[in-house]
Each structure stands twice: as structure tokens, then as C-alpha cells.
Amino acid sequence: MRRYGCLQAIAEDVGDALVICTVGGAAAQWNAIRPGDGNLRCRTLGLVSSIAMGLALALQNRMVVALDGDGALLMNACALPTLACQRPGNLIHLVFDNGVYESSGLRPTATLNGADLVEMARGAGIKHACWASSVENFKQEFNKAKERKAYSLIAAKVEAGEDYRELPAFGVAEVENAYRFMRHIEKLEGIRVVPLPGPRH
């Protein structure tokens, strides 16, 4: 199974959801499939799930999708029990387990040694956590999660070393991405997230 294929399969189902992407190929691939200011690339390894959870709790009528990885989730594994406690029903947490730290030289993660991310999630108290067995099943599980309206974690074992160098660059720097994302939310929700400078500034 390839991550790119999984992302392509759910693109239409994601619609205009806010998408928080982990660093590396997932962000590049997703942004190639659905470019726009509704994508936030999280450059700090591990924080995707926590940022997505906060966003989902703050905007409870808006679907939020987290694109997480094995290295990232292991880095912030303490997010799992918090996600189980908070369980925002508008958050779908997708975890692509390629067994490596993709952005830093393809070194193995603990999942290659048997760490099972879905079992970890279940052990932390997450009720709806599953492995997808194929791209088709991944899409099915995604749509089941949408209908369920309960926090769901869907993991997929994917190939390591997918080549994303030919895809368009993400295109915006980290701070610019954050501001564009916030302005995008302001327009969607009709709210002010970051005050504009007043006339005297």
C-alpha cells in the first residue's frame, strides 16, 4: 500500500476539511492532491495529533483531519490518552506507518520492531482505532469515521521511501503557512483569530 494512493482515494471525501500534515512526504503529497490554505504543515515532529485535537475542540462543527506518521506518533505517544479523553467527534486521525523516519534518512522506527500503533491507541482508551488492510478499506474506514462522528484513528502500513521529489513544492514558509491557515479559518468561520493591526500601527 502506498500513502499517496490512500490520500488520493479519500481526497473527495475530505472535501473542505482542515488538514494538519506531519512533516515530510505526507504534506507534499497531500498539498499536491488538494492545494490550498486549508492545509497546515506541522514542522515539529509529533505535534500533528495535538494541534489537530485543539483545533477540532475549538471548531466543533468543522471536520479536521490529521495526517500523522509512525515516527511522529511515537514521538508524542502521550497524546494518545489525551485524545482518548477528549475524543473530538469531528477529528479523523490518519496514521501512515512506513516503519521509518522518512525525513531524516529512512532510519527505522520502533514499529519495525513490533510496536503496534493501533494496539497502543486501543490501550490508551481510544475506542475507534483500526488498521486499514487496503486502499479501498482505508477509504471505507474514512467514510465510516465521517458518519460515526466519533474520534477515530485509522492506521495503514505503507511502503517506505515513496518518492515525492517530483511533486510541486509546498510553496510557503512555516510562518506564512500558519498565517494563511488562520486567515482561511477566519473566512470559513466568520471569526477573527489573529487581530489585524489597528490604524495607528
Interacting residues toward Mg ion by CB under 5 A: 69-71, 98, 102
Of the two residues 71 and 88, which places its CB atom closer to Mg ion in the complex?
71
Q: Write out the three cell numbers for 199.
A: 490604524
Of the two residues 22 and 90, which places its CB atom closer to Mg ion in the complex?
22
Other Cβ atoms closer than 10 A to 81: 14
Rounded least distance, CB 197 to Mg ion, Å: 40
Q: Is the dihedral of CA 142, 186, 27, 116 positive or negative?
A: negative
Torsional class of 158: left (φ above 0), alpha (ψ -120 to 50), beta (otherwise): beta
Rounded least distance, CB 153 to Mg ion, Å: 16
d(CA 78, CA 90): 20
Of the two residues 9 and 155, which places its CB atom closer to Mg ion in the complex?
155
Rounded least distance, CB 102 to Mg ion, Å: 5
Contact between 32 and 168 (Cβ < 8 Å):
yes
Of the two residues 19 and 63, which places its CB atom closer to Mg ion in the complex?
19
Rounded least distance, CB 89 to Mg ion, Å: 27
